[in-house]
Structure 1
Amino acid sequence: MKKYIYKASVLALFAGVLFTSCEPEINYDVNPSAGAELDFSNYVAIGNSLTAGYQDGGLYREAQLNSYPAILAQQFEEVGGGEFVQPLFTEAQRNGSGYLRLAGLPTPTSPVLEPVTTELAVRRDVQPLPGGPRLTKYTDPVNNLAVPGISVLSAATPIYGGVNPYFERLLTDAEVGQKSYAQKVAEAQPTFFTMWLGNNDILTYATNGAVADPTNPFSDKTPVATFKAVYTQMMAALTKGGTVEGVVANIPDVTSVPFFNTVTLAAIRQGDNVPDDAVIYIKVGPAPTDVRPLTENDRVLLTTRANIGRPDQVQTPNGPVTIPHGFHPANPLADNEVLDAEEVVEVQNHTKLLNQAIAEVAAANNIPVFDVNAFFTSIKGGFKIDEVNYTTSFISGNLFSLDGVHLTPRGYAIIANEFVRVINSHYKASVPTVNVTNYRTVVFP
């Protein structure tokens, strides 16, 4: 099986989350109660890859079984919750889309990863979609409607079913390209819902170094007005005029996940055969002279690490010359390989505007908001649960999976507990939390 240093070109399709020193309140011993308002008999989860349980650069059966909605549904069962159906891959196809496993860790920032390529749910009998190979269909009604890669913007257009294989697998052949995700959500008829949607309306742009792909209409920052209009439509479909309760989550500061904070200038200089005072150059504009040295305020993408120092043929007035990638102004790291300091501010500011829209729509429908952005900012620097330390460090921090964006099962359990906290506070319920130490972190070889 082929081994390689981490690189995942499709990662920008999928959503992310920030774990950024307080200790979250955990209470395992409560008298379970749904309170006077809540009916969990048909709980439906709306969202993207985070809601699906995506981790390690893929979606697979174990990841689905440890999604935060599955954990929530387990807790809801104690207060009258009904069956929770997920579009699970079968045991025979347990590895789903394929994912990455840790094969070695020569340094903390340069894991050796292997792609898992057996027992997949990838279809070979049809042509792939623009977003990747098609997956085994699951068209029965489900409670976890999460679609990795989806944004609020793409949720509004029927064409997305013919683009994203994770959405296509939930549609009949007749519905592909004809039914939007927003329409699919409107058919769900929940008695209670969670919706964590919107990360990809800024994350996809950020994970491509703040460069929009002209071939992908969903790769730029979603305009705030468009975002709010679609979000309003989806909220109305879920709440049914105020008769259905739920909770929504907002968008974290995506620039603080390990994907953007592992390949630092100091980490590059610690590499083999790299001088301690080495200068790394980055492209910051379209002109040939728009090049400057990398600083600690710039964020080299995790997927860029394998490219640094690559011997490239560069054309000069004296002919082609081999120059290590990133180590000379004539061969800088490309714009889409780095989120520079100004782009970090741009992404953060747009996130604030999208979160304001979420807050306004939620308030208009009297739906509480799990403020993910504020929660993870409050635990910046690390925290501890049951004497276990958690940080934002790549792999060793216990929170993030091998793609540097999505969570470990333990991380998803922590998220589920925070959803419970918001539900209990707003609705005066007593849904029990889960013991997060029952869920694993990164699997080491």
Structure 2
Amino acid sequence: MKRHIYKSGMLALFAGILLTSCDPEIDAPSASAGELDLTKYVAVGNSLTAGYQDRGLYREAQLASYPALLAMQFEQAGGGEFVQPLFGTDEASGSGYLRIDRFENGRPVMVPVPGQAFREGTTLPGGPALTKYTDPVQNLGIPGISVLASASPQYGAINPYFERLLEPGEVGSKTYVQEVIESQPTFFSVWLGNNDVLGYATAGGEPTSPFDNLTDRNVFGSIYNTIIDGLTTGGAEGVLMTIADVTAVPFFTTVPYNALALERQEQVDQLNAAYGSGALGFSFQLGANPLIVRDPSAPAGLRQIKPTELVLLTALDSISGRGYGSARPLPDRFFLDESELQMIAEHTTAYNEIIRKAASDNSLALFDANAFFDSIKGGFVFDQVTYAPVFVSGNLFSLDGIHPTPRGYAILANEMIKTINAEYNANIPTVDVSQYRAVLFP
């Protein structure tokens, strides 16, 4: 298959110098790689690395992936070409994605854009097979992959995004760890581990696949360090990223715990009667009320959700259109209770300790994504534009409520560049964030 090479082009030269000016000229520092060899940059990671957004992977999203943006800036400091497994222009919608069709009562109505990159007649356990791209690539971002899955030979026969990059004889026998180690970069980035907690979280603590469960900490450490050891064997430098608090993104924060809005006394009376008029330890009133959720340990197997627990974005349609959370208790797969949130927090902390130690032991740069996302929970203003981790309107997150918009990826790329510059005495220029879009409105 023809290789698609992502290049930014040469910088334009000044046409001339104004000799009539007597003002002193101040030259900006020229771009420099510092201590780095950027000849071959390889990006290791999951959906965030691939550029996934709007619940899909498509050409525009790939071109705005943070590795593509980093490579564009690296080129200005002497970096080499960067090859991505781009979907062709005739299959630009890739695996398909979401777009906003219209707004109803202030809520966005989203519709799917069909994918164009499927192989007819071939379906994997993880979904329809995608068109093959078996030439060597440097963006090894695989949507859905976890550290645990990266060491499984069978994973290439499960995940369509990984299967797409493998030769037919490698499917079901070659691990992602092997693919990464064979890449032999001079500089690399690694953002892995999010899915070792995210799969569990997005399933409401009820994962259906062993790859979506919380990964044992010792197993995580062993596999992660194998990857880093393999990448650094030839002396390559790199940047590692910690795992952000996955429950802080709009997928988990958009639907409030008290989303049961009762506007008429008749509604209040009906629900109070249906639930025993206080016999179960709770009652209803006019206004906002906590949702009713299933809990096997509670009286009658149900209760009101607590303010400290989180409702998933996937519950929104069931709450608004099917009576869940009121007349019908919300199933466990639609919310995270306190014990599940505690386990997510504990595993995230443990994984990040492993990542930090790997960076320290190998003298690698470390972008603390966890600290960065924590610092922007209240939002921020950049170039007179407001950004916040808010669904649709916050400019940072795409329509799936988990992955960034192109502008969000640009902001992340700049934070990574700052980290790389500080660690390796480099002067890699940052990305012009204004050149990348946020959520598209109809």
Check whether TM > 0.5: yes
1:5 counterpart residue number: none
| Residue 327, structure 1, aligned to residue 339, structure 2 | no
- CA contact under 8 A between 2:242 and 2:355: conserved in structure 1? yes
Q: For residues 188-245 of structure 1, what are the alpha-carbon distances to aligned partners after superposition, in whole Å with 9 as ceiling and x for unaligned?
A: 01010000000000000001111232xx12111000000000001000110116x110
2:136 counterpart residue number: 141
Cα offset, 1:279, TM superposition? 4.6
2:438 counterpart residue number: 441
Cα offset, 1:46, TM superposition? 0.3
Which has the larger Rg?
A: 2
1:258 counterpart residue number: 250
Cα distance, 1:287–1:70 mapped onto 2, change above 3 Å: same
Superposed, 1:345-424 pairs within 5 Å as 345-424=342-421
Counterpart Cα distance in 2 of 1:442 and 1:177: 37
Structure 1 outlier segments of 4+, above 6 Å = 270-274
Counterpart Cα distance in 2 of 1:415 and 1:240: 27
Output the aligned Cα RMSD.
1.9
Cα distance, 1:41–1:307 mapped onto 2, change above 3 Å: same
SS in 2 for 1:289: helix
Range with bigger deviation, 287-296 or 347-356: 287-296
1:249 counterpart residue number: 241
1:282 counterpart residue number: 293
Specify every segment of 5 or more residues in structure 1 that has no aligned partner in the other structure, as ranges. Answer: 1-28, 312-323
2:71 counterpart residue number: 73
Letter in structure 1 aligned against 2:249: V
Counterpart Cα distance in 2 of 1:135 and 1:52: 15
Superposed, 1:198-237 pairs within 5 Å as 198-213=193-208, 216-237=209-230
| Residue 177, structure 1, aligned to residue 152, structure 2 | no
Counterpart Cα distance in 1 of 2:381 and 2:341: 28
Q: For residues 55-92 of structure 1, what are the alpha-carbon distances to aligned partners after superposition, in whole Å with 9 as ceiling and x for unaligned?
A: 00000000000000000000000111111000000000
1:342 counterpart residue number: 339
Q: Higher RCO, 1 or 2 (CA under 8 Å, sep at least 6)?
A: 1
Counterpart Cα distance in 2 of 1:286 and 1:153: 31
Identical pairs, percent: 53
Counterpart Cα distance in 2 of 1:375 and 1:245: 22
Letter in structure 2 aligned against 1:326: G
Letter in structure 2 aligned against 1:206: A
Cα offset, 1:99, TM superposition? 0.4
Aligned partner (choices 111, 114, 117) of residue 117 of structure 1? 114
Counterpart Cα distance in 2 of 1:146 and 1:369: 19
Cα offset, 1:268, TM superposition? 4.4
Cα offset, 1:30, TM superposition? 4.2
Q: For residues 228-287 of structure 1, what are the alpha-carbon distances to aligned partners after superposition, in whole Å with 9 as ceiling and x for unaligned?
A: 00001000110116x110001010001010000001134442899995244521123477
Q: TM-score, normalised by structure 2?
A: 0.86
Cα distance, 1:444–1:309 mapped onto 2, change above 3 Å: closer
1:295 counterpart residue number: 306
Cα distance, 1:30–1:49 mapped onto 2, change above 3 Å: farther
Counterpart Cα distance in 1 of 2:439 and 2:358: 37
Counterpart Cα distance in 1 of 2:129 and 2:220: 28
Letter in structure 2 aligned against 1:389: T
Q: TM-score, normalised by structure 1?
A: 0.86
1:42 counterpart residue number: 40
2:9 counterpart residue number: none
Counterpart Cα distance in 1 of 2:240 and 2:164: 25
- CA contact under 8 A between 1:285 and 1:335: conserved in structure 2? no
Cα distance, 1:293–1:123 mapped onto 2, change above 3 Å: same
Cα distance, 1:286–1:366 mapped onto 2, change above 3 Å: same
- CA contact under 8 A between 1:68 and 1:416: conserved in structure 2? yes
Counterpart Cα distance in 2 of 1:45 and 1:395: 28
Letter in structure 1 aligned against 2:219: T
- CA contact under 8 A between 2:260 and 2:288: conserved in structure 1? no
Cα offset, 1:360, TM superposition? 1.4
Cα offset, 1:177, TM superposition? 0.2
1:60 counterpart residue number: 58
Counterpart Cα distance in 2 of 1:337 and 1:223: 24
Q: For residues 422-443 of structure 1, what are the alpha-carbon distances to aligned partners after superposition, in whole Å with 9 as ceiling and x for unaligned?
A: 1000001100001111100000
| Residue 305, structure 1, aligned to residue 322, structure 2 | no
Range with bigger deviation, 258-267 or 152-161: 258-267
Letter in structure 1 aligned against 2:95: S
Cα distance, 1:441–1:72 mapped onto 2, change above 3 Å: same
Cα distance, 1:276–1:420 mapped onto 2, change above 3 Å: same
Specify every segment of 5 or more residues in structure 2 that has no aligned partner in the other structure, as ranges. Answer: 1-27, 269-285
Q: Which has the higher helix share?
A: 2
Cα offset, 1:384, TM superposition? 1.1
Counterpart Cα distance in 1 of 2:198 and 2:390: 19
Counterpart Cα distance in 2 of 1:423 and 1:271: 54
SS in 1 for 2:111: strand
Counterpart Cα distance in 1 of 2:218 and 2:360: 17
Cα offset, 1:309, TM superposition? 5.3
Q: For residues 23-60 of structure 1, what are the alpha-carbon distances to aligned partners after superposition, in whole Å with 9 as ceiling and x for unaligned?
A: xxxxxx6421001x201110000000000000000000
- CA contact under 8 A between 1:309 and 1:327: conserved in structure 2? no
Cα distance, 1:342–1:384 mapped onto 2, change above 3 Å: same
Letter in structure 1 aligned against 2:256: T
Cα distance, 1:268–1:402 mapped onto 2, change above 3 Å: farther
Counterpart Cα distance in 2 of 1:279 and 1:198: 33
Cα distance, 1:333–1:30 mapped onto 2, change above 3 Å: farther
Range with bigger deviation, 356-365 or 78-87: 356-365
Matched length: 397
Cα distance, 1:271–1:183 mapped onto 2, change above 3 Å: farther
